[in-house]
Chains A and B, each alone.
Chain A
Amino acid sequence: MSGLIDLTASQAAAAIRLGDVDPSELFELYRARAAADVLNAFTWVAEEAPKAPPEASLGGVPLAIKDLFCTEGVPSQAGSRMLEGYCPPYSATVVERLAAAGAPLLGKTNQDEFAMGSSTENSAFGPARNPWDRDRVPGGSSGGSAAAVAAGLAPWAIGTDTGGSIRQPAALCGIVGLKPTYGAVSRHGMIAFASSLDQAGPLTRDVSDAALLLRHMVGARDPRDATSLDFPEEIVLPSRSDLHGVRLGVPAELSGAGIEPGVLGALESTLELARQLGASVEPCTLPHAPHALAAYYVLAAAECSSNLARFDGVRYGYRAPDAPDLLSMYMRTRHDGFGAEVKRRVMLGTYALSSGYYDAYYGRAQRVRTKIAEDFATAFELFDFIVTPTAPGVAFELGAKLADPLVMYLNDFCTVPASLAGIPAISIPNGLAEPPGGGTRLPVGLQLVGPAFSESRLLDSAFALEQALGFDGGAVRQ
């Protein structure tokens, strides 16, 4: 049985096609592992394998899905007490596409409430834990998906990324996470956080699995998501073994101050490895990157305050009992249903959008966003990809960053600029490093950022680096 666990999702799909693996047996194996989860990575696990394993190209390799994707008839709670027990009457487009492609739903994964957080500690269903060290966070907000894949409780998973919520947990758990170009994947049926930034993507054991899963997430634009786009090509599975002719830019703004020494050391040695593979590595500049986090927290909070207005106790979800009138019903419902971080961001966003403040905050942040996109466009005239650490540190201990919201927000320092620019970015495992102060070595992530719709090229270069790095995350799957 343990042999099956060692197969990547791509290998399992190939083995099913050859008749070497029975998809029902594979599903049951993972179902049992997910049901015995001690990481609190899952909020719901399928009770049985799908009756007829799909004939489609993915062969029936089970998929873990972040809680905030609507799945018809299955709890979709977005990590919030507000949606406790909520089973939507329809499924998200991307969930339907992946099921049709042969990736049936294994379970729903834990997350920060409405995707607001960087540690999965803001879940109404308790924090998820990092399989490398259970006293540490798996990152967030897609922490349940990352922990499940890293621990071998799921062959692969999908999550969502607004300011780093796929890439940062992938980095902290030692797996691969990709945030596609904004609009590449339909947002229909994703419970919205910040609509101009939210994007679904894969969390996988390796780059090949990320490419295979992404191939089935993108495609023709979804008429149900007016911001979705036709993806210009089929995602090409990666095969590259060198980086000859690839120009890598390393922005000073995102690779110095504020980054743990172990993470910087891993970056330096991997850049040397990239040179040996034939890449050119040069410093570059993203002058407005230091302002990205401030702009992001205005935009994300403003959009969340608008999106979360729908949770009013009327059509679905929690309603506070015994309110004497409509206004107090709204107010008490939202008081009881939302957690502390969601309340903080709803308040910040409402303030930023309130009369007299719009231009100073939202309008200004949208202009900063334009400058950041221009910085990247300028950099891409000289470079194929921008390389940075994914997160400024390794996984931190549970509770360590809960006291000060600004300290927690700094986790997104390296990932937010690509989110604001709407461009694709991948995090791959970049070895292990000691946490500050010493202790067991923990995973580090390397981020590669490319121009819009460059996913196939990005995956190809990430693959070459991954093969040369030879990271083995198998230890935490046992």
Chain B
Amino acid sequence: MIDRETVLHVALLARLELSDDEVEQMTVELGSVLEHIETIAQLDLEGVAPTTHVVNVENALRADEPEPCLSHERALESAPSVAEGGFAVPSPQA
């Protein structure tokens, strides 16, 4: 019910490279998990509202005022690559 082409399409959406073995395994495993999940398709859910928050809450608003936050340097210190005070990445078009 889920084929190799679908797995590759979803993997691209998820920005996830998969080896050939992983594609094969994923095709089988996702198929069996989806089959289990399909059981909820049999339920009559006509007119049932989807849950948004499990405890009824009003909007969570706060005053829009500046607060101390991470410094520029601290925000960059865990980055794999930094250039000119920003996060460096490979070019989108190599």
Q: What residues of chain A have their CB less than 8 Å away from a CB belonging to chain B?
A: 86-90, 181-183, 196, 221, 223, 226-227, 229, 288, 291, 293-295, 297-298, 305, 309, 312-319, 323-332, 334-335, 338, 343-344, 346-348, 350-351, 354, 360-361, 363-371, 373, 404-406, 420-423, 452
Contacts and interface: CB of A to CB of B under 8 A. Distances in A.
A215 B6 CA distance: 48
A4 to B, nearest CB: 38
Contacts of A297: 33, 36-37
A351 B27 CA distance: 12
A343 B18 contact: yes
A116 to B, nearest CB: 13
A261 B19 CA distance: 42
Given A314-B87, A331-B16, 18 more contacts: A295-B40, A298-B37, A325-B91, A326-B90, A327-B92, A330-B15, A331-B12, A335-B17, A343-B18, A344-B29, A347-B11, A347-B16, A351-B34, A366-B52, A370-B48, A371-B45, A406-B36, A422-B54
A122 B18 CA distance: 18
Nearest to A313: B80
Contacts of A223: 62
Interface in B45-94: 45, 48-55, 57, 60, 62, 70, 74-75, 77-81, 87, 89-94
A90 B67 CA distance: 15
A316 B78 contact: yes
19 contacts: A181-B55, A196-B51, A196-B53, A223-B62, A293-B36, A294-B36, A294-B39, A317-B78, A325-B91, A325-B92, A335-B18, A338-B16, A344-B29, A347-B16, A348-B33, A354-B10, A366-B50, A371-B43, A452-B55
Given A327-B15, A347-B16, A422-B55, A89 B78 contact: yes
A305 B14 contact: yes
A347 B10 contact: yes
A11 B74 CA distance: 40
Given A326-B89, A326-B92, A371 B33 contact: no
Contacts of B7: 347
Given A354-B13, A405-B33, A370 B39 contact: no
Which A-B residue pairs are the 4 nearest by beta carbons? A422-B54, A366-B50, A319-B80, A325-B94
B50 A294 contact: no
Contacts of A348: 30, 33-34
B53 to A, nearest CB: 7
A180 to B, nearest CB: 11
Contacts of A227: 53, 57, 60
Contacts of A317: 78, 80
Given A227-B53, A325-B94, A326-B89, A346 B16 contact: yes
B40 A291 contact: yes
A404 B35 CA distance: 14
Contacts of A88: 78
A361 B94 contact: no
B75 A89 contact: yes
A181 B54 CA distance: 9
Nearest to B15: A330
A314 B89 contact: yes
Interface of A is mostly: helix
Interface of B: 2, 6-7, 10-19, 22, 26, 29-30, 32-34, 36-41, 43, 45, 48-55, 57, 60, 62, 70, 74-75, 77-81, 87, 89-94
Nearest to B45: A367
A368 B16 contact: no
Contacts of A423: 54
Contacts of A363: 50
A183 B60 CA distance: 12
A452 B89 CA distance: 46
Given A181-B55, A343-B22, A351 B37 contact: no
B90 A323 contact: yes
Given A367-B48, A367-B50, A452-B55, A226 B60 contact: yes
A319 B55 CA distance: 39
Contacts of B74: 89
A325 B93 contact: yes
Contacts of B43: 288, 291, 368, 371
A365 B34 CA distance: 13
Contacts of B36: 293-294, 297, 406
A332 B26 contact: no
A405 B55 contact: no
Contacts of A315: 75, 78-79, 87
Given A294-B37, A315-B78, A350 B89 contact: no
Contact of B54 (A196, A298, A326, A351): A196
Contacts of B60: 221, 226-227
Nearest to B50: A366
B18 to A, nearest CB: 7
A233 to B, nearest CB: 15
